[in-house]
Structure 1
C-alpha cells in the first residue's frame, strides 16, 4: 500500500485557522463508544422524541438498540453505528434545549462521529444523517463479510512511528493486510486489518514494549479493506442534500477545519472509509483555533475523546463529557447559569 495513507498531516497543513471567539467545541465519539442500556436515562425525557423520529426515518427500532440490545448485538457494525449516532443526536438535542439553541463554534467527530459533527454544524439534517449512517453501517458490514477484519489499540512511548514501521514491514515481507487506522495521540494508535494480521502486529508491538487492547468491532475500518463499501455509500451520499456549515468541522482525513463549500464533504465521506483518522492532528487544529476562549464538550457515550483532548489541549481549556440528562444539567449549571 502507498505510504501517504499512514502519514499524519503536519500542524502547518491545518492551514492556520483563525482564532475563534468564546464558544463551545463539540466532539462526537465513534463506533466502540456504544454500551448496552445507554438510552435508559433518556427514555422518560422530552428528548426521546429524537429516537422516535429517527426510528421512523431509518425503519429500525432504535429504542430497542438503546434500551435492550446486549453487547453482542451492539458489536455489529450496523447496530453500533445507528445506536451511537442516535445517542449523539439525543444528547445534542438536550444541549440545545438546556443551553438555549446551542450554536457550537467548532465541531469534530471521530470516525462515525464525524456524521454527528456534520449534523451539529448544520451540514446534515439529523434525518439525512441517520439515512447515511444506516447505509454506511450496512455497507461496511458487507465489506467485512468479504474480508473479515478487526482493530486494536496500541499504547506506548513513540508508538506512532513504531506501529507504522511494523505495519509497513508486515505488508512488505508477509503481504499482511494491516495498517495504522487512527492516530489518536503521540502515545496511542489504532491498527486495523485482517484478524490474523492485527493479532500478529499486536503481538510484535507488545514484545517491543507497547500495550495492546483489542477493540470489539467487526471490520478493518479506515483501511483499503473497506473499499467495497464505497459504491453503496456513494449512492447514499450523492442523493443527500448538504447545507452550508454554521461552524467549522475538522475532518478526519486531513485534520483541517472546513467551513465553506459543503460539497467537498461528499468526497471526504468516501475517503474516510479507507483512510486513517488523524485525531492527533485534529486536536492540534483545535488548539490553534482555541487561542480565544473555548470550552470543549464530548457529546455522546463514553469519555475517550475527552480524555484524549485533556492530554492534547492546553490545560486552561476546560473539557467535559456529557452522556446523560444529569450530566447535561450539571454542565449547564457549571458553565451557563
Structure 2
C-alpha cells in the first residue's frame, strides 16, 4: 500500500505527546529512550509532563517533534508491514524528520542536528525582536507585495488563503494594519518566540551550515521534498543546501503538496500532534485522503482503516 509520509512542524507540540505510545509499544519506548540517552537528558519527561513553556522552547520542541514523528512511524510500520512509503515531506522542522524516515541519516545523527538547529534558532530569537502573523483569505501575490512594503518576509505558503509573514515586530504590526487593504480577511499575530523563516534567523542559518558539514548524508530511500524550492532533493550537497536555506527561506508547502498531487498521490499519512497538515491538504486537494496519527487511538484507527 503506497502512501506519502508528512511530518509536523513547530507549533504542533503538546504536553503528553508520545506518552501512551511509550507505555503500550516497546518499539516506541526503545526509540524514545534512545533519544534521551543520545541527548544526555530526559527529553521524554519534557514531552510527557511539560510544563508547556518548557516544551514550547525551540531547543526542546524541535527534537520532541522529531522523536514523536519517528516513534509513530516505527510502530505503524510494525503493525502494518504492507505499508510502502513512496515519498516524504515535512513542514519546516518536519523536513528533518522526513529525512530520518528516508534513512538520509541515522536517527541519532538527525536528533543531534535538530537539537542544535533548535538551540541556534532560540539564540537568534533571543538576539532579535521578531514575530510572525498569519494572513488569512488573501492571495499569495498580495501578501508578497504587502511583506515587501513592510520590510518583512513571507515565512510560509501553507495552503491557498493561508500565508504567514515574519520579521521585526514593527514590520509585522505594519503588515497586520495593512492586511485588509491587501485583500486579507483576517490577520493575526502568532504566539511564537521569534521571526522564523525570515532574515532575522540569519545567525542560526550560518551556525547550522557549519553543523551540516559534519553530517554524512546517505541516499534517501524515497523522494524527499524540500520546503525551500518545493522539489525532490538530489544528493548530499543539495540536501545540505536546502536544509541550510530553509532556516531563513519561505516554506513552500502548497507548491510541495501540489507536486505530489500532480504525480497522482492521494493517500497521505500525517505523523505528529494535531491535524494541521490534514487541514492544509483539504484546501490544496479536496480528493486527497490524509490519515493523522499522534497517539494510540489514532494509530489503531489508522491501522484498521489502512489494513482493510
- Please tell me whether residue 166 in structure 1 is matched to residue 166 in structure 2: no
Whole-angstrom distance in 2 between the partners of 1:213 and 1:70: 25
Pairwise mapping of residues 305-320 of structure 1 onto structure 2 (< 5 A)? Answer: 305-315=277-287, 317-320=288-291
2:179 pairs, out of 170, 187, 205, with: 205
1:268-326 CA distance string (max 9 Å, x none): 11110111000110011111222xx64111111111111111221251x3211110122
Identify which of 295, 299, 306 aligns with 1:328: 299
Unaligned runs of 5+ in 2: none
Displacement after TM superposition at 1:200 (Å): 2.6
Distance (whole Å) between structure 1 residues aligned to residue 196 and residue 227 of structure 2: 13
Q: Deviations over 1:222-250 (max 9, x none)?
A: 11111111232122211111111111011
1:143-179 per-residue CA deviation (whole Å, 9 max, x = no partner) reads 1122122222111142x122111111122xxxxxx21
Structure 1 SS opposite 2:228: coil
Bigger drift between 300-309 and 195-204 goes to 195-204
Aligned residues: 305
Q: What TM-score does the superposition give when structure 2 sets the normalisation length?
A: 0.93
Written as runs of structure 1 = structure 2, the 5 A alignment for 1:52-71 is 52-71=33-52
- Residue 212 of structure 1 aligns to a residue in which SS? strand
Offset of residue 123 of structure 1:
0.8
Query: Contact 1:62 / 1:86 at 8 angstroms: preserved in 2?
Result: no
Report the Cα distance in structure 2 between the residues aligned to 1:118 and 1:265, rounded to whole angstroms: 9
Matches of 1:148 and 1:261, distance apart in 2: 36
Contact 1:180 1:191 in 2 (8 A): yes
SS at structure 1 position matched to 2:281? helix
Structure 1 range deviating more: 202-211 or 243-252: 202-211
User: Is the 1:94–1:325 contact (alpha carbons within 8 Å) kept by the matching residues of 2?
Assistant: no
Report runs of 4+ in structure 1 exceeding 3 Å deviation: 206-209
**Larger relative contact order (CA 8 Å, sep ≥ 6):** 1
Distance of 2:18 and 2:131 partners within structure 1? 26
> Does structure 1 conserve the Cα–Cα contact (< 8 Å) formed by 2:160 and 2:283?
no
Which residue of 1 is the match for residue 7 of structure 2? 28
Determine which of 150, 153, 156 is the counterpart of 2:131. 150
Distance 1:76 1:196, change over 3 A: farther
Matched, 1:255 2:233: no
Q: Deviations over 1:92-145 (max 9, x none)?
A: 111111112844101000000000111111112111110000110111111112
Structure 1 unaligned residues grouped into runs of 5+: 1-21, 172-177
